[in-house]
């Protein structure tokens, strides 16, 4: 959520910044609601003050045994009037609040302008696209040939955009997850957490998936409704919802391996082949909750932690800075890491690392007691994938494939595969 004070004070500048990411702020609507709110709130509170005063007077008069009837008559219709104003005010505030919740974060000045992902800026490349002395296959064919990746049976037991993995490929995915968690907890100083995979609506409001992206979520039908998490970001970040943190626990760095569930409602024609875009996938998530003046450094560091995984697996990738039009709803700046996929001859997103500044913290009411000011202030939150396991599995299969269709196991993972070095067809 944006700072309401900022909207009241300098709505034009907010509108200008939002326009950069293609969002039209209805300044007229906001100003109208806001000025109505102002007068209505003042009137309501004046009436409340009046009510409080007379109630007090009645109490005192009664204590002294005086006749209170005249006083009662004087406030006879006050309560009705108050009720009327109050319900009007409540409605208006709900309206205003709902509107505020639909406003995306302001893009940082350093974020390049642009409309689509084509205008994202490449920051750096690591490694060269893997070269083969044969025609490389994509992971779908590789998986089918190995007999370990089955989309048809997944469609039977669930629907499209699911997969069943067998034997060494299933195990390789598990190895990837274990490896990443161990790397982040031992080398990058994250604390591992295990979290619920079903969350309530409040949590989704907190991190920004609701109210705008309801159609992207899987929801249960029970009452109250719970949602399948679209990313571990939701439960991990919401741990600090409604909390005031002490300075000594900061920065908070947490990592979790969870499945992620996405309806992919708006992407019907896209990535229908293979494991790139699934309704269910595993992901190791990195979350940081930091002091406000540390978040920019933290973004660079966190992105580096995700990059380290790719480097250790020797997977070629590039780092891009998302342009304003491609930026996620809650983010002020995002780096994507795109891994090289020989099967598609292209770089594909495998990690997305974002700084949210206080946008989420304001929704979450996550604050700290700033020792310098002695006041409660909003913290900054960040997160990034470190990494998406499904896509990482794809990347390993395609980059490590051999001419005969076997797949070499990256050195870093062999310890997690009991020393196995190759995945063979008849495993």
Partner RNA sequence: GGAGAGAUGGCCGAGUUGGCUGAAGGCGCUCCCCUGCUAAGGGAGUAUAGGGUUUAUAGCUCUAUCGAGGGUUCGAAUCCCUCUCUCUCCGCCA
CA distance to 52, 71, 76, 334, per residue, from 79 (Å): 11, 14, 7, 52
Enumerate residues 372-411 that contact RNA by CB under 7 A.
375-376
Of these, 11, 58, 219, 239, which contacts RNA (CB under 7 A)? 58
Cis peptide before 35 (omega within 30 of 0): no
Residue by residue, DSSP assigns 3-15 as -HHHHHH-HHHHH
Identify the DSSP state of 401: B
- Residue 45 or 192: the one with the smaller Cβ distance to RNA is 45
Q: Which is nearer to RNA, 4 or 88 (CB)?
A: 4
Among 13, 27, 31, 79, binds RNA (CB under 7 A): 79
In the complex, minimum distance from the CB of residue 240 to RNA, in angstroms, rounded to a whole number? 15
Residue 21-40 contact track with RNA, rule CB under 7 A, x = bound: -----------------x--
Window of 70-78, 124-132, 152-160, 278-286 that interacts with RNA by CB under 7 A: 70-78
Nearest Cα to Cα of residue 341 among 288, 384, 293, 397: 397
Site for RNA in 89-108 (CB under 7 A): 90
Question: Does the protein bind RNA through residue 72 (CB under 7 A)?
Answer: yes
C-beta closer to RNA: residue 341 or 357: 357
- The CA angle 168-353-2, to the nearest 5 degrees, is 140
Is the CB of 151 or the CB of 378 nearer to RNA?
378
Q: Which two tokens stand for residue 158?
A: 């669930």
- Contacting residues for 84 by C-beta, under 8 A, at least 6 apart: none
Contact 48, 82 (CB under 8 A): yes
Q: How many residues bind RNA (CB under 7 A)?
A: 31
Binding segment toward RNA, per CB under 7 A, in 50-58, 96-104, 124-132, 310-318: 50-58
Do 422 and 408 meet the contact criterion of CB atoms below 8 Å apart? yes
176-235: contacts with RNA (CB under 7 A): 224
Task: Give per-residue burial for 325-359: e unless 16+ CB within 10 Å, then b.
Answer: bbbebbbbbbbbbbbbbbbbeebbbbbbbbbbbbb
Of the residues 27, 52, 158, 346, which one makes contact with RNA according to CB under 7 A: 52
The structure tokens listed for 88 are 């009007």
Nearest Cα neighbor of 100 from 23, 1, 211, 18 is 1
Q: Does 5 bind RNA (CB under 7 A)?
A: yes
Stretch that binds RNA, among 60-68, 187-195, 245-253, 391-399 (CB under 7 A): 60-68
Segment near RNA (CB under 7 A), from 73-81, 128-136, 153-161, 325-333? 73-81
**Minimum distance of RNA from residue 229's CB (angstroms):** 18
Q: How far is the first Cα of the chain from the last one, in angstroms, to the nearest whole number?
A: 52
CA distances from 20 to 106, 107, 251, 314 (A): 9, 8, 31, 37
* Cα–Cα nearest to 165, from 184, 180, 144: 144
Residue from the set 10, 59, 102, 156 that interacts with RNA by CB under 7 A: 59
According to the binding rule CB under 7 A, does residue 116 interact with RNA?
no
CA-based angle 408:412:413, to the nearest 5? 60
- Specify the 3-state DSSP secondary structure of 422: strand
Residue 79 per-residue DSSP state:
H
Stretch that binds RNA, among 55-63, 134-142, 166-174, 324-332 (CB under 7 A): 55-63
Footprint of RNA on residues 353-372 (CB under 7 A)?
367
Q: Considering beta carbons, is residue 58 or 170 the nearer one to RNA?
A: 58
When the beta carbons of 147 and 371 are compared against RNA, the nearer one is 371
Q: Which one of 1-9, 164-172, 208-216, 418-426 is the stretch in contact with RNA (CB under 7 A)? A: 1-9
**42 is an interface residue for RNA by CB under 7 A:** yes
Tokens of 231: 């990313």
CA angle, 372 as apex, 369 and 376 as ends, to 5°? 25
> Judged by CB under 7 A, which of 22, 33, 51, 112 binds RNA?
51
Choose between 75 and 155: whose C-beta lies nearer to RNA: 75
Residues engaged in binding RNA (CB under 7 A): 4-5, 8, 38, 41-42, 45-46, 48-49, 51-56, 58-60, 62-63, 72, 75, 78-79, 83, 90, 224, 367, 375-376
């Amino acid at each position: 959520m944006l700072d309401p004070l900022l909207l009241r004070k300098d709505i034009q500048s907010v509108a200008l910044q939002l326009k950069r990411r293609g969002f039209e702020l209805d300044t007229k609507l906001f100003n109208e609601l806001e000025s109505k709110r102002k007068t209505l709130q003042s009137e309501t509170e004046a009436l409340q003050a009046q009510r409080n005063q007379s109630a007090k007077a009645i109490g005192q008069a009664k204590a002294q045994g005086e006749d209170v009837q005249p006083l009662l008559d004087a406030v006879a219709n006050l309560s009705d009037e108050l009720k009327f104003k109050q319900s009007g005010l409540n409605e208006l505030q709900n309206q205003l609040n709902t509107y505020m919740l639909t406003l995306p974060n302001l893009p940082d000045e350093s974020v390049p302008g642009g409309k689509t992902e084509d205008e994202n800026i490449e920051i750096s490349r690591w490694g060269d696209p893997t070269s083969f002395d044969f025609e490389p296959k994509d992971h779908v064919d590789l998986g089918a040939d190995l007999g370990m990746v089955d989309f048809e049976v997944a469609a039977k037991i669930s629907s499209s955009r699911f997969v069943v993995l067998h034997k060494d490929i299933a195990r390789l995915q598990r190895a990837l997850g274990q490896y990443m968690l161990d790397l982040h907890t031992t080398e990058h100083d994250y604390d591992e957490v295990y979290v619920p995979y079903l969350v309530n609506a409040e949590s989704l409001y907190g991190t920004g998936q609701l109210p705008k992206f309801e159609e992207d979520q899987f929801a249960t039908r029970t009452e109250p409704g719970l949602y399948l998490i679209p990313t571990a970001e939701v439960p991990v970040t919401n741990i600090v919802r409604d909390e005031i943190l002490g300075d000594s626990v900061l920065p908070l760095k947490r990592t979790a391996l969870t499945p992620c569930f996405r309806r992919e409602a708006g992407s019907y024609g896209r990535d229908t082949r293979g494991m790139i875009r699934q309704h269910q996938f595993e992901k190791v998530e990195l979350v940081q909750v930091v002091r406000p003046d540390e978040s920019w450094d933290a973004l660079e560091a966190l992105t580096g932690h995700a990059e380290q995984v790719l480097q250790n697996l020797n997977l070629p990738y590039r780092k891009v800075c998302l342009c304003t039009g491609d930026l996620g709803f809650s983010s002020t700046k995002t780096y994507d890491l795109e891994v090289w996929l020989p099967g598609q001859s292209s770089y594909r997103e495998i990690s997305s690392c974002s700084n949210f500044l206080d946008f989420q913290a304001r929704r979450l009411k996550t604050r700290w007691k700033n020792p310098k000011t002695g006041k409660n202030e909003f913290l900054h939150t960040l997160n990034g994938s470190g990494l998406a396991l499904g896509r990482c599995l794809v990347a390993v299969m395609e980059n490590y494939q051999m001419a005969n269709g076997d797949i070499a196991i990256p050195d870093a993972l062999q310890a997690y595969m009991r020393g196995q070095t190759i995945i063979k067809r008849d495993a």
